[in-house]
Amino acid sequence: MPRSPLKALLAGCFATAALASGPADAAASYEVVRQEQTCPKERQPRSLRQTLVILDEAIVSAEPEVNQRWTRMVVEAADARDAGTGGLGTRERFTLLVARRDGSELVPLFFGCSPNLPPEESERAKAGDSMFDRFIGSDSEARRKAARDAFAAGLARALAQVQKRAPEIAARPAPADSLLKALQNAGRLADLNHGLPRIILITPFGVAEKGRTGDVPAARRAGFELAERSAIDFGRAEVYLAGAALGDSAPLEFARALVLGAKGQLAGVRSDGLPRLSPEPTSLRLYAGFIDYVGQRTPLQVRLAASAQGDLVNSWVETTLSRTTATPLAGKMLCRGQEKGQAPGEVCEVRGDGRFAQVWFPDPQAEPADRGKLPFGGARTIALDLKGRTAAGRILDPKVIFSGENGQRREELTFEIQRVEDGQF
């Protein structure tokens, strides 16, 4: 299989950095590269998702072979050849940001949109090509190739700026918590107008050292506490760590808890490349209303995003009691047409994976000491039935009795919420 234009330009990226002359100041501002010719115009098909890659300068080295590894991670994240494997979707917004090595700020480096088009649109464009278009090289396939090459060249120019400054960047100290400080100083990371956020952090994730000092429960408690203190908000995003060697014990659970407490779901970790990425969502439904929390009427929002196979991806349930808490929702959403004689539309069944609010357990392998302190009591089961604009749901667990004021007790929480059109959540 031929290399994609992005991978073909890897060598060019390093060559550009090597040939650049003049002093490089690691503290100087980067020049923002914009390659937005393929961004969606009104009524054009577009991905429901956006991808943000955050390159932590703490991973930058004076050794070229080390820098080649993180460069390859960025390039692979931006590859639009096969959206089914987690690559960029149709006209998906792609943003590359750099987290300063000292944690002072998060700065933009590249803005663009995937040149990937849906097959049916490509076929229509080919059908409209004339012999003259093909003769002069302005047919749809030539235009698509030019768009891919321009996107790849723009990203290569952006990455070359970091490569050029690599020795100076690497010479500066990198505090273990510099990435968290940069994220904290950045505030809001993603504009939901561009799609549901997927965030890929290319970082050694030095802050995970805080999770090596104890067992899994202690590491998870430390992660949750740090998330609350830092006030970082991933905005209900899928989060991936690339370049971080966390193993499979306390440091990994520390990272899971930290990301979850910051309204993110740690969907994958890999030390030597990109983790396996989830497929893009092909359907999105937003619902809002209230849940009867044993006598207490509590705001509730639900995001249901599903892949073409019906798997929930980047789906969330958010409620507000003493504070706002977002819980990721994994499982299946299966839809069918209405029964004969009923109003037109779809009827969908949503079933969780049996681990819903268990993600908040201090120890994933043990019963929590006080379920009352956990969102939804740590209940593992959630189910929703969607009909028309209404979602009727329930949350339950054989080990949970929900208690309220005046001694009220219930075995499950129920809700009925309404679909929200053109909302953001």
Average pLDDT by consecutive 10-residue portion of the chain (425 residues)? 51 46 56 92 90 97 94 89 66 96 95 83 64 67 82 95 96 92 90 95 90 84 94 96 90 95 96 93 96 91 96 96 91 80 72 97 90 92 96 96 85 96 84
Collapsing DSSP states into helix, strand and coil, what is residue 262? Answer: coil
CA distances from residue 142 to 58, 71, 118, 373 in whole angstroms, order as listed: 40, 27, 16, 59
Token duo for residue 136: 């002069």
Instruction: Give the pLDDT of residue 148.
Output: 87
Enumerate long-range contacts of 360-363, CB under 8 Å, 24 or more apart: 360/260, 360/327, 361/220, 362/217, 362/220, 362/221, 362/224, 363/216, 363/217, 363/220
State residue 379 phi and psi, 5-degree precision. -60, 140
What is the pLDDT of the chain when averaged over all its residues? 87
Crossing angle for the helix pair 64-77 and 10-19, to the nearest 10 degrees: 130
H helical segments located in 262-372: none
Residue intervals of the chain classified under CATH 2.40.160 are 283-419
CATH architecture for segment(s) 283-419: Beta Barrel (2.40)
pLDDT at position 407, please? 79
Which two structure tokens, joined as six digits, stand for 299?
């705001």
Specify the pLDDT at position 156: 95
Q: Where are the beta strands (DSSP E) in 4-155?
A: 33-35, 49-56, 93-99, 106-113
How high is the pLDDT of residue 66? 93
Count CB atoms within 10 A of the CB of residue 62: 12
Q: Is the dihedral of CA 213, 214, 215, 219 positive or negative?
A: negative
SS3 257: helix
**What pLDDT is recorded for position 87?**
82
Q: Are 54 and 200 in contact (CB under 8 A)?
A: yes
Among the listed residues 292, 232, 289, 288, the one whose alpha carbon sits nearest the alpha carbon of residue 262: 232
Q: Give the contacts of 181 (CB within 8 A, at least 6 positions apart).
A: 103, 104, 175
Name the one residue in this structure whose structure tokens are 């929702």: 329
Q: Are 67 and 61 in contact (CB under 8 A)?
A: yes
pLDDT attached to residue 249:
85
Specify whether the CB–CB gap between 56 and 183 falls below 8 A.
no
Using CA atoms, how far apart are residues 162 and 74, in angstroms rounded to an integer? 12
